[in-house]
Structure 1
Amino acid sequence: MRTDAVTPLDPTTASQLRASGYTYFEVGATRGEMPSGYHHQRRETAIGTGHDRFVQCARAIMTWQVQLRAGIAVATTDATVVEGTVARLAIGVGPVRIHAPARVVYVVDEPRHAGFAYGTLPGHPELGEELFAVEHRDDDTVVFGVAAFSRSGSRLTTVAGPLGPLAQKFVAGRYLRGMASLPQP
């Protein structure tokens, strides 16, 4: 799986993921107060100013550039995110590659706020949901943010213990830096 471009998800895997249920009950909870019993993360960074920057960043989010720019491979049913899109994300190299199936829970498409959240499916090492969004604030600042709630969903992440949340914090930092490094329009 390439990490520099989105690749199509093979039809068999896509069908299996579409038929799978989420691995957690609180679907959509990144819209507001996140549920207890999970590790929570909310991070954001200013990435520029103006309407053109907002539009550029919204387009990048909706075409998986957040993940790709963080070094995560994306195989998906839709190169442009829509509600219900399924994807298999992957990080790592060769036999140390971790696959993370997910489905888009909701899309935000407002004049000054855009993004999407995906939730974990069976086979994902974590249970939970993650939101990627950009906001064009009243002071003209464009802010990119990530919000997530998660807990261990596999033996690997259970054994990793406190390293799991640290790894997620590290990857969230890569998301933020990747979006901040988008060349200005």
Structure 2
Amino acid sequence: MKSSELAGLPFTYPEVGATAGPPPAGYRHLNASAVIGHGRTRFEEAAAEVMRWGMLRGAGLRVDATTGVAAVGSEVVVGLGPVRAPCRVVYVVDEPNRRGFAYGTLPGHAETGEELFAVRYDPVDESVHAEISAFSRHGTWWSKLAGPFTSLMQRVVSGRYLRAL
């Protein structure tokens, strides 16, 4: 499946946009962050990289996106080995001290849920933080069967996202 084939597909979960607030019940929740540098210049560089799918590519994933920069409605197929994960951007964060985007799963994804990729600048100590927030549950019989492995992979890949910037 290519990103250009995803138009019109529905999200596979009803809580679209929920990574912007308290995580919904009935899902595994993931929140992780890491300091990736200091200063406004570092923040601007990291923010631009996040918006160009940099956390995904930097984690070693293949990215086939309908846009070069994440925007609401952008469709993307993320690949790792033979696994393909179709998603659509549900919202963009564009604040003075925080930037990023969240995407949600589409049919064909092994999981059901949403993930936020962002960077945050703390003006008090000038630290720059990479942030990941997600809620998910198994969406296919084979991801349920491989449950412990898929949960481990999500944690491993999330760590790679944070180191990618």
Tell whether the structures are fold-level matches, with TM greater than 0.5: yes
Once residues 58 and 155 of structure 1 are traced to their aligned partners in structure 2, the CA distance between those partners, rounded to angstroms, is 36
The yes-or-no answer on 1:113 pairing with 2:91 is: no
With structure 2 as the length reference, what TM-score do the two structures score?
Answer: 0.96
- 1:78 and 2:67 correspond: yes
C-alpha deviations, 1:38-78, integer Å up to 9, x for none? Answer: 01000000011111000000000000111111110001110
Matched residue SS, 1:18: coil
Correspondent of 2:27 among 12, 27, 38:
38
CA distance in 2, matches of 1:73, 1:161: 23
1:87-102 alignment runs, 5 A limit = 87-92=76-81, 97-102=82-87
| Partner Cα distance (2:50, 2:41) in 1 | 14
**Match of residue 38 from structure 2:** 49
Distance 1:26 1:130 in 2: 12
State yes or no: 1:165 paired with 2:133: no
Amino acid aligned to 2:35: A
Q: Counterpart amino acid of 1:31?
A: A
Q: CA deviation at 1:155?
A: 1.9
Deviation at 1:162, TM superposition (A): 2.1
User: What is the identity, as a one-letter code, of the residue corresponding to 2:150?
Assistant: G
Equivalent residue for 2:55? 66
Q: Give 1:67's aligned amino acid.
A: L
2:11 corresponds to 1:22: yes
The 2-side partners of 1:89 and 1:34 are apart by: 23
Query: Unmatched 5+ residue regions in structure 1?
Result: 1-8, 180-185
Long gaps (5+) in structure 2: none
Equivalences, count: 164
1:136 is matched with which residue: 91, 98, 121? Answer: 121
C-alpha RMSD of the superposition: 1.2
